[in-house]
């Protein structure tokens, strides 16, 4: 649909930011897509800026050295990316997490901003949906953790396990993208 924004916030903080952005969007419709479950907070530090208004941002930068890997996610799957990052960082793999609450807004940003957010190394996308659209962010060598067909009904935790959308699957995919460690 022309000029439509689709926003999928990761937590209550992003929900408030997306709501503010939606109210300011006067050139078309907005869809706010929320998870059925109550996702945990992924943003724990106050920031006066509306980080979601640019469509995507670095939620957590690599903290064990220069970024080796970037995990990208949207909506409730951002929490899975954060959990996978913790495991990767513990293994000495400098990992960033990028939240992409609105692809349309992110795509409208200048190329230098998008590149600074996405980084230059390997990327893994995570969403409880199909891969369609993700390759624009993952690149030719990126990996995707998500659906390959129709979903199912049930509690989110059970469905994540059934479809292998887990932090462990993200860590395994990430490790396959990186050169072997000594």
Q: Is residue 85 part of a domain?
A: yes
Per-residue pLDDT of 85-105, as tens digits, reads 999 999 999 999 999 999 999
pLDDT band, residue 114 (cuts 50/70/90): very high
Give the integer Cα–Cα distance in Å for 56 and 36. Answer: 22
Per-residue pLDDT of 153-180, as tens digits, reads 888 888 889 999 999 999 999 999 998 8
Of 26, 28, 35, the closest CA to residue 8 belongs to 35
Q: Is residue 84 part of a domain?
A: yes
pLDDT band, residue 57 (cuts 50/70/90): very high
The structure's pTM equals 0.94
Number of domains in the chain: 1
Q: Is residue 16 part of a domain?
A: no
Q: Is residue 61 part of a domain?
A: yes
82 and 97 Cβ atoms separated by less than 8 Å: yes
Q: Work out the burial of residue 176: count CB atoms within 10 Å of its CB; fewer than 13 is exposed, 13-18 middle, 19 or more buried.
A: exposed
């Amino acid at each position: 649909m022309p000029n439509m924004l689709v926003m999928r916030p990761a937590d209550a903080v992003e929900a408030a930011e997306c709501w503010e952005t939606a109210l300011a969007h006067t050139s078309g419709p907005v869809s706010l897509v929320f998870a059925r479950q109550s996702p945990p907070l992924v943003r724990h530090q106050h920031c006066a800026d509306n980080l979601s208004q640019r469509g995507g941002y670095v939620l957590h930068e690599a903290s064990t050295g220069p970024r080796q890997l970037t995990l990208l996610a949207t909506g409730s799957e951002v929490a899975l990316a954060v959990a996978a990052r913790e495991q990767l960082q513990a293994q000495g793999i400098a990992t960033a997490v990028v939240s992409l609450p609105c692809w349309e807004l992110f795509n409208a940003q200048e190329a230098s901003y998008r590149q600074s957010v996405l980084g230059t190394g390997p990327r893994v996308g995570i969403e409880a949906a199909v891969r369609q659209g993700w390759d624009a962010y993952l690149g030719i060598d990126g990996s995707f953790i998500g659906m390959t067909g129709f979903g199912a009904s049930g509690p989110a935790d059970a469905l994540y396990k059934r479809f292998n959308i887990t932090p462990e699957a993200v860590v395994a995919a990430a490790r396959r993208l990186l050169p072997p460690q000594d």
